[in-house]
Amino acid sequence: MSQDNTNSSFSTSTRSFYIENLGCSKNQVDAEIMVSALLDRGWKFYRHEPEKASFIIINTCGFIESAKKEAVETIMGTLQQYPGKKVIAAGCMAQRYGKELRDQIPELTAVFGNKIPEQVPDFLENIPGDRLLKPVGNSSFPLRKDLFSFKGSAYVKIAEGCNNNCRFCAIPLIRGPVVSRPSEEIINELKDLLSKGIFEFNLVTQDLANWGEEWGDNLAVLLKEISKLEGDFWIRLLYIHPDHFPFEILPLMKEDPRIIPYFDIPFQHASEKVLRGMGRRGNSKIYLELIEKIRAELPHCTIRSTFMTGFPGEDKSAFNELLDFQEKAELDWLGVFSFSPEEDTPAYKESHTFSARRTRAKGEKRKNILEEKQVPLSEKRLSRWIEQEVTLLVEEEIPEEDLFLSRSVGQAPEIDGLTVLHGENLKTGDHIRARIIKANGFDLEAVALEEGEA
Ligand code: SF4
């Protein structure tokens, strides 16, 4: 099939694909929807063998410079390594720079935007002459057949888009304003995944606290519905904006421990001046009070956050404020990014002044200072688990050492430390009781408890 004709003669051998997924958990859900839609249409999925597939889909990320660079490198590398393949650019970079990708990389078979991933079979079977399609509308989130997460764990998107418009962020430009999924649809998906043996549900979107805003509901309403579900599982909340934290979820979490006490709250900074520049309303005092309130309600909770360094206006005293906040907040986990100006965002223009460029140049060094300072803080927080009895989700077996890698409620997939587990006859996806015996750096160590030993 050549690139310029709409497809009428589509042979079975051509109906095969491999997908390279880049970026965040939201992008992963889109990739899983694309895989399921193609499987439903009878396509063959080469999960680990791109060399055997006819189509290679690169599900790109495009929200900051380094991600865009990785996307282009992956596309160029794939085109070089697999010259005969039909390479498709999909995902956020395709959505944001569709025309540019198509025009600047003529070797690309086509470019597919990220709004309705389940439309990918129609697209691949009928590639338009101009090699570009950005579906308009919203995904119906068809049930997924194949997941990329470790066994027993899944990301569940509860909405798409963001209304917060932080001044440094390109995501609203890519994903648009919030479109929440109706709670029935989410419950239906949770039931489907439960029936497939999923134990951990990581709820994701750009800001969980935006859910239901369109019709005046909030996250607590959804969690109440989820709480009515039968069975044993974990609900993990990933990414709640600190400026409108939904306190009404805390009593719900106390009532139903399946909604695990884990919070990913990206404060980004603590200096009022810098936060205002970011289009955020908090400050060090407000954010410390938020942490205090959460810990007062849920003393065993885990709080992860993200800081951004090098943002315009971050002078020495602002950075010292952030260091002081870090000390007082004693976060469990912290990710630090240095500011990367994104075109078309409100902060872009002001990030090119001489002083802004000088501040940005300090971003990397300040990032390293914060990361170094976080090590003992995280280790101190981790040490509180020693001698505790916990439930662990087994992720991987280390066969030659009779050990397993697992995670507790305080360890989110891919971003936090792990728990090395001593146990027998366990398999991936199992969730078992264990006792934490020690902490090693960012990881814990545990022994499995026999049935009834607890
Ligand atoms: S809340 Fe997150 S996704 Fe939304 S605009 Fe702010 S940084 Fe971007």
Domain boundary among 133, 166, 201: 133
How close is the Cα of 40 to the center of ligand 1, in Å? Answer: 33
Domain boundary among 382, 412, 439: 382
Degrees to nearest 5, angle at CA 119 with 96 and 97: 10
Q: What is the position in ligand 1's atom list of the atom closest to the CA of 207?
A: 1
CB neighbours of residue 258 within 10 Å: 16
Instruction: Note the pLDDT of residue 454.
Output: 44
What CATH number is given to the structural domain containing 440?
2.40.50.140
Question: Number of folded domains in the chain?
Answer: 3
How close is the Cα of 83 to the center of ligand 1, in Å? Answer: 38
Q: Is 266 among the domain residues?
A: yes
Q: What is the position in ligand 1's atom list of the atom closest to the CA of 241?
A: 1
Q: Is 144 among the domain residues?
A: no
Instruction: Check if the beta carbon of residue 252 is closer than 8 Å to that of residue 228.
Output: no
Q: Is 140 among the domain residues?
A: no
Listed residue (176, 230, 229, 181) closest to 203, CA to CA: 181
Whether 207 lines ligand 1, by a CB cut-off of 6 Å, is: yes
User: Ligand 1 pocket test: which of 241, 244, 267, 342 has the largest number of ligand atoms within 8 Å of its C-beta?
Assistant: 241
- Same domain for 309 and 164: yes
How close is the Cα of 275 to the center of ligand 1, in Å? Answer: 13
- Same domain for 71 and 105: yes
Spatial strand order in the sheet of 200-204: 153-157, 200-204, 234-237, 259-264, 302-309, 333-338
How close is the Cα of 12 to the center of ligand 1, in Å? Answer: 42
User: Ligand 1 pocket test: which of 64, 165, 179, 207 has the largest number of ligand atoms within 8 Å of its C-beta?
Assistant: 207
Q: Which residues are 90's β-sheet partners?
A: 59, 112
Q: Using CA atoms, how far apart are residues 93 and 72, in angstroms rounded to an integer?
A: 9
Q: What is the position in ligand 1's atom list of the atom closest to the CA of 268?
A: 7
- Same domain for 310 and 173: yes
> Domain range holding 166?
153-382
What CATH number is given to the structural domain containing 83?
3.40.50.12160
- Same domain for 370 and 246: yes
Q: What is the position in ligand 1's atom list of the atom closest to the CA of 206?
A: 3
Task: Find the radius of gyration of the CA atoms of the chain.
Answer: 23
- Give, using CA atoms, the residue closest to atom 2 of ligand 1: 206
Instruction: Note the pLDDT of residue 10.
Output: 63
Contacts of 297 (CB under 8 A, 6+ apart): 250, 251, 253, 254
- Give, using CA atoms, the residue closest to atom 8 of ligand 1: 169
Q: What is the position in ligand 1's atom list of the atom closest to the CA of 172?
A: 5
- Same domain for 313 and 228: yes
How close is the Cα of 418 to the center of ligand 1, in Å? Answer: 27
- Each residue's pLDDT tens digit, 76-109: 999 999 999 999 999 999 999 999 999 999 999 9
What does each C-alpha distance from 396 to 83, 128, 193, 199 come to in angstroms?
35, 43, 20, 15
Whether 301 lines ligand 1, by a CB cut-off of 6 Å, is: no
Q: Is 4 among the domain residues?
A: no
How close is the Cα of 239 to the center of ligand 1, in Å? Answer: 10
- Same domain for 255 and 221: yes
How close is the Cα of 207 to the center of ligand 1, in Å? Answer: 7
pTM of the model: 0.94
Domain boundary among 99, 133, 167: 133
Q: What is the position in ligand 1's atom list of the atom closest to the CA of 63?
A: 8
User: Ligand 1 pocket test: which of 25, 165, 173, 206 has the largest number of ligand atoms within 8 Å of its C-beta?
Assistant: 206
Each of the 454 residues of the chain gets a pLDDT tens digit; together they read 344 444 555 666 789 999 999 999 999 999 999 999 999 999 999 999 999 999 999 999 999 999 999 999 999 999 999 999 999 999 999 999 999 999 999 999 999 999 999 999 999 999 999 999 888 888 888 999 999 999 999 999 999 999 999 999 999 999 999 999 999 999 999 999 999 999 999 999 999 999 999 999 999 999 999 999 999 999 999 999 999 999 999 999 999 999 999 999 999 999 999 999 999 999 999 999 999 999 999 999 999 999 999 999 999 999 999 999 999 999 999 999 999 999 999 999 888 888 888 988 999 999 999 999 999 999 999 999 999 999 999 999 998 888 999 999 999 999 999 999 999 989 999 999 999 999 999 999 999 996 544 4
Whether 172 lines ligand 1, by a CB cut-off of 6 Å, is: yes
Listed residue (58, 67, 114, 117) closest to 85, CA to CA: 58
Q: Is 6 among the domain residues?
A: no
